[in-house]
């Protein structure tokens, strides 16, 4: 495995892969550790998780730079990602015991209750786009619940993968509570089939989700999937346009557009269309694209050159089918995996930017006549992860939100993940939930105890 800087295409470092025998030995050790870790009181687990949060904050610059160099995240967003990881560690350190407390149920018994108990070692298959956050939002609740964990991270962020393992070690977690497997995707089936793995969680692409879900079900193991998204950003006729426009660019360009919950389809009523097109185009066209380590950069490279080619193919095919370019629309010449911030309008059903997830800095504007058509267009997608609605009429916005087929809807705000709120999707965006009390209860044994 090797790291390549996507801003320059320069080689960074080689990392040795684990052999099959090394993987088996790691799984044995992590499973053995589970036998003692599950017995640890919440107070001990909480202390270690708080130390992890403190360590993350103390290493913010080091870890942020690693992300920027290895996958191209602009440095300001990388720092914010480290802080968010610390937040989720503190959240579960403070709340896990309460979230997993016995739940009494009134029955014909003298005493009956539900107990939430750990199940064993959980495999996490994680993506490169948020190389720390995606891992910590799984690991913090899993470890606090008393499980142990192994990570198979994306192959282009091996440095981040090993850094996360080191953080848990430095924070004082017992050896083999959390381990990184330096393996490629082809080795994942072997790990899922291993009896020491009790469940699997994946954040990634739709094809990867199908493969992991199939393997998990064949081996009668629970899985949680957070897959792609083509989130609608709905602008109704009474939207606060200045606030809406400012947020729209941020919502599209977070992580240079490489986010499952980034706004991708901008569904705009005709009365607001001209203003929205003009102002979003001005913002997108004026963004500074450059070195992610430059404090002034507002967008960096995509994570790999093949992603540039894939995104450009989606854009060009949509243009051929009638989409109109307001700004951008091409890769940026020179070294690095850079793509122009792009706004397309007159987007309609059948175009790639309407039907597919666009993982990069491309806005697709879809004109509609009213709120009813906006709902129909928003739901005309195989994805169902997140979305946002902009309207001064909150009652109307809530009514529209209830009709949107996604795992979350944000009214007059940008879609985001928050440790206090459940996160996940429906349809082809996956199933199960992360974060909140729903997330920590995904990988526990929900046990009924009944006393005569």
On whether the CB atoms of residues 298 and 361 are closer than 8 A, the answer is no
List, edge to edge, every strand of the sheet that includes 103-104. Answer: 103-104, 111-118, 444-451
On whether the CB atoms of residues 357 and 229 are closer than 8 A, the answer is yes
On whether the CB atoms of residues 324 and 380 are closer than 8 A, the answer is no
DSSP symbol at 110: S
pLDDT of amino acid 445: 98
69 — pLDDT class (breaks 50, 70, 90): very high
On whether the CB atoms of residues 397 and 412 are closer than 8 A, the answer is yes
pLDDT of amino acid 196: 98
CATH code at 2-227+429-451: 3.40.605.10
The proportion of the chain whose per-residue pLDDT surpasses 90, expressed as a percent, equals: 100
Q: What is the dihedral of CA 62, 64, 65, 70, to 10 degrees?
A: 120
Residues linked to residue 306 through DSSP beta bridges, in sequence order = none
Residues linked to residue 430 through DSSP beta bridges, in sequence order = 226
Q: What pLDDT digit, counting tens, does each position of 238-265 carry?
A: 999 999 999 999 999 999 999 999 999 9
226 given a catalytic annotation: yes
Cβ-based neighbours of 309, under 8 Å, separated by 6 or more: none
pLDDT of amino acid 353: 98
Active-site residue, selected from the candidate residues 260, 277, 298, 442 = 260
Categorise residue 257: left if φ over 0, alpha if ψ from -120 to 50, beta otherwise.
left
Q: What pLDDT digit, counting tens, does each position of 71-119 carry?
A: 999 999 999 999 999 999 999 999 999 999 999 999 999 999 999 999 9
Q: What pLDDT digit, counting tens, does each position of 328-351 carry?
A: 999 999 999 999 999 999 999 999
Q: What pLDDT digit, counting tens, does each position of 403-431 carry?
A: 999 999 999 999 999 999 999 999 999 99
Q: What pLDDT digit, counting tens, does each position of 270-297 carry?
A: 999 999 999 999 999 999 999 999 999 9
CATH code at 231-418: 3.40.309.10
Q: φ, ψ for residue 331 (rounded to 5)?
A: -65, 155
Query: What's the mean pLDDT in 384-398?
Result: 98
Residues linked to residue 232 through DSSP beta bridges, in sequence order = 265
77 given a catalytic annotation: no
Which residue, among 21, 357, 406, 102, has the nearest Cα to 204 in the 3D structure? 357
Cβ-based neighbours of 223, under 8 Å, separated by 6 or more: 199, 200, 201, 202, 212, 213, 216, 217, 432
pLDDT of amino acid 259: 97
Q: What pLDDT digit, counting tens, does each position of 364-384 carry?
A: 999 999 999 999 999 999 999
Scan for tokens 């610390």, then name that residue.
86
Active-site residue, selected from the candidate residues 70, 77, 165, 226 = 226
Q: Domain boundaries in the chain?
A: 2-227+429-451, 231-418
Taking only Cα atoms into account, the Rg of the chain, rounded to an integer number of angstroms, comes to: 22
**How many residues does this entry show for the chain?**
452
Rounded distance between C-alpha atoms, residue 275 and residue 253, angstroms: 19
Cβ-based neighbours of 373, under 8 Å, separated by 6 or more: none
List, edge to edge, every strand of the sheet that includes 121-125. Answer: 178-180, 148-152, 121-125, 197-203, 222-226, 430-431
pTM attached to this predicted model: 0.97
Rounded distance between C-alpha atoms, residue 288 and residue 381, angstroms: 32
Supply the DSSP string of 59-88, one letter for each residue. THHHHHHHHHHHH---HHHHHHHHHHHHHH
Which residue, among 337, 359, 408, 354, has the nearest Cα to 228 in the 3D structure? 359
pLDDT of amino acid 271: 97
pLDDT of amino acid 161: 98
On whether the CB atoms of residues 361 and 314 are closer than 8 A, the answer is no
Element at 362 (helix H, strand E): strand 362-368
pLDDT of amino acid 186: 96
pLDDT of amino acid 135: 98
391 — pLDDT class (breaks 50, 70, 90): very high
| The two structure tokens encoding residue 297 | 């950069």
């Amino acid at each position: 495995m090797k790291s390549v800087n996507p801003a320059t295409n320069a080689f960074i470092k080689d990392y040795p892969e684990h052999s099959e025998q090394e993987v088996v030995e790691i799984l044995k050790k992590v499973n053995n550790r589970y036998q003692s870790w599950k017995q640890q009181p919440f107070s001990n687990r909480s202390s270690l998780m708080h130390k992890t949060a403190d360590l993350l904050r103390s290493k913010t610059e080091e870890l942020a730079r690693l992300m920027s160099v290895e996958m191209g995240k602009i440095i300001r967003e990388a720092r914010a990602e480290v802080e968010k990881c610390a937040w989720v560690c503190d959240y579960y350190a403070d709340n896990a015991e309460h979230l997993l407390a016995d739940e009494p149920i009134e029955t014909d018994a003298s005493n009956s209750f539900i107990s939430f108990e750990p199940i064993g070692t959980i495999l996490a298959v994680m993506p490169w786009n948020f190389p720390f956050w995606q891992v910590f939002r799984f690991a913090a609740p899993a470890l606090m619940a008393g499980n142990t964990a192994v990570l198979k991270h994306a192959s282009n962020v091996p440095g981040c993968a090993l850094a996360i393992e080191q953080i848990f070690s430095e924070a004082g977690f017992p050896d083999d509570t959390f381990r990184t497997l330096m393996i490629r995707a082809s080795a994942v089936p072997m790990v899922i089939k291993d009896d020491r793995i009790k469940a699997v969680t994946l954040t990634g692409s739709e094809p990867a989700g199908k493969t992991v879900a199939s393997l998990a079900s064949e081996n009668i193991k629970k899985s949680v999937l957070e897959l792609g998204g083509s989130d609608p950003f709905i602008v109704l006729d009474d939207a606060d346009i200045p606030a809406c426009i400012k947020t729209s660019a941020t919502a599209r360009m977070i992580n240079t557009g490489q986010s499952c919950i980034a706004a991708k389809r901008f569904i705009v009523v005709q009365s607001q269309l001209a203003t929205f097109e003009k102002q979003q185009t001005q913002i997108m066209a004026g963004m500074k694209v450059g070195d992610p380590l430059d404090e002034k950069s507002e967008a960096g490279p995509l994570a790999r050159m093949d992603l540039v080619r894939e995104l450009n193919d989606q854009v060009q095919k949509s243009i051929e089918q009638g989409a109109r370019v307001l700004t951008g629309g091409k890769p940026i010449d020179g070294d690095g995996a850079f793509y122009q911030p792009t706004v397309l309008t007159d987007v309609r059903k059948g175009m790639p930017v309407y039907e597919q997830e666009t993982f990069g800095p491309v806005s697709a504007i879809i004109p509609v006549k009213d709120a009813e058509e906006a709902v129909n267009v928003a739901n005309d997608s195989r994805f169902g992860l997140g979305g946002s609605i902009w309207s001064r009429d909150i009652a109307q916005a809530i009514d529209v939100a209830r009709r949107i087929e996604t795992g979350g809807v944000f009214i007059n705000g940008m879609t985001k993940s928050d440790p206090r709120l459940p996160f996940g999707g429906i349809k082809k965006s996956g199933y199960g939930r992360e974060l909140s009390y729903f997330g920590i209860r995904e990988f526990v044994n929900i046990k009924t105890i009944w006393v005569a």
